[in-house]
Structure 1
């Protein structure tokens, strides 16, 4: 996947199929949109995602917002999906004031050579957000592209949106968040050296320091899976500030992996949070912390063993 970031000058030769949006969370609605441009590759078009950096909501409010998916996470997900080109178009006073007609003719038509555009019903772009899918359709014949408007996906009578996903994650409702996203909610990053307390207690953990712009669910313990070393591993994760042994207030993501003993410091890993188990607690001593860690790990072990047993039963061939 090629990435063009931080410039308004886009040099691209191939005709493209374009999806425009923030894609925060890359939820089911986003995936439907992206599926359309990926399928357009069969017609020789380059599957292209167009985003603004920073997102318009952040630019206009002047306030940073924790993201469901960080820029690095989006890049990795888009690459795995088969996207050919990612545009991270700079959002500033000049680009924000660009007339929507100019955006279509100059950026989409001249620079990206768009032949197909997939648009959500809530799409807005250009000066004061006046551009929308109606404008895209009005200019389609003259600019030589086709427009497909993608309807929202509903869940429980509500439109799936980044706001909906965000609300459920902040409640710790990871199962529903997974349904809305189409995949488990994931925290990723480079494995860091911790205080080695877990190793000292006989329960070593893989430690991540989440980016400041990453949205996190409530502090506590979660059943999880980690992608490391090219495969997925069962685990249990604590998200929090480690109040029993530290008063720094620094958030960390610490994962104990079952049947795993490799050194992966410095590697990029992904932690999928599946089920919220309990809130983070401050214990009166390290010994009490150790006892509770052991109980959490054993409960997680029983969960994963039962999951494997259910899978084995489901795979048996009736006789």
Structure 2
């Protein structure tokens, strides 16, 4: 950890447009001698208190990569423990922000809460930090279509397969990044070879179904057109959830390579077919629809 710091506080799951405004405010306000930093917590405070696993829009590696694009130089992960949870707002400022991190300027969203039982508000943070000479920038809500952009709204959109809305709230397509592993080779037998991705176990998946996507990887000279199936493959009595992508205009050995799928459009929900021939016919139709959709937008950005 590098100090002194200029800090944006929060969990930043998704690094959506609202988060981006908090980060931009920090980058603009940071003194040149400070390391532009994000403070986040592990486990997520909600997971800590409920004991339930929380799937993430942006697991750790993905979040770090995105934050670096917006000018963040270091991500400081604080272990969320019972001891940390019991700190009062003033104790959190004194022990964590001042003594440990040597914070010189802070940026938070308008609804930021901190300290025991989230008893401290963003305005409390500004008032208490003033005694230590630390300016606090409280960023107002960022709205889209009259509604506040939030991680919860993105989760709700993905649950219905609305990747268009998710893209508007994120400022980019929702992406799935994973390493290609060996599967059951069923797609190859049907004439549509697929790359089976091993995704982070804490990655939130959208509604099960078929999506048109752009596929990027170091092995590709440019983004590739793809159609991805997310689900349990009920036609072949699948049990585990898989993410498998068929590339429309590229063939070759992808095992061991890391691919990123940028979800562009929802094509259809997961379906069960009475015969493999029916599944094969439907996949061909999905590929035609995906090609039409992706050729129309021409880019995943």
Q: Give the structure-2-normalised TM-score.
A: 0.92
Aligned counterpart, 2:115: 126
Choose the corresponding residue for 1:241, options 223, 227, 232: 232
Choose the corresponding residue for 1:86, options 59, 69, 75: 75
Where 1:143 maps in the other structure, the secondary structure is coil
Structure 1 position 104 matched with structure 2 position 97: no
CA distance in structure 1 between the partners assigned to 2:285 and 2:173 by the alignment: 25
Choose the corresponding residue for 1:178, options 167, 182, 186: 167
Structure 1 position 57 matched with structure 2 position 39: no
Structure 1: any 5+ residue segments left out of the alignment? 1-10, 312-319
| TM-aligned CA deviation for residue 147 of structure 1 | 0.9
Where 1:187 maps in the other structure, the secondary structure is strand
Where 1:89 maps in the other structure, the secondary structure is strand
Aligned counterpart, 2:132: 143
Aligned counterpart, 1:25: 14
Aligned residues: 297
Where 1:88 maps in the other structure, the secondary structure is strand
| TM-aligned CA deviation for residue 48 of structure 1 | 0.4
Instruction: Judge which range, 52-61 or 63-72, deviates more.
Output: 63-72
Choose the corresponding residue for 1:264, options 243, 254, 265: 254
| TM-aligned CA deviation for residue 175 of structure 1 | 0.5
State the Cα deviation string for residues 184-222 of structure 1 (Å, max 9, x = none).
Answer: 111222111111222222211121133443222221111
Aligned counterpart, 1:190: 179
Structure 1 position 280 matched with structure 2 position 270: yes
Q: Is the 8 A contact 1:210 1:252 kept in 2?
A: no
Q: Give the structure-1-normalised TM-score.
A: 0.87
Q: Is the 8 A contact 1:209 1:251 kept in 2?
A: no
| TM-aligned CA deviation for residue 245 of structure 1 | 1.7
Structure 2: any 5+ residue segments left out of the alignment? none
Aligned counterpart, 1:293: 283
Where 1:44 maps in the other structure, the secondary structure is coil
Structure 1 position 76 matched with structure 2 position 65: yes
Instruction: Judge which range, 86-95 or 202-211, deviates more.
Output: 202-211
Where 2:129 maps in the other structure, the secondary structure is helix
Structure 1 position 35 matched with structure 2 position 24: yes
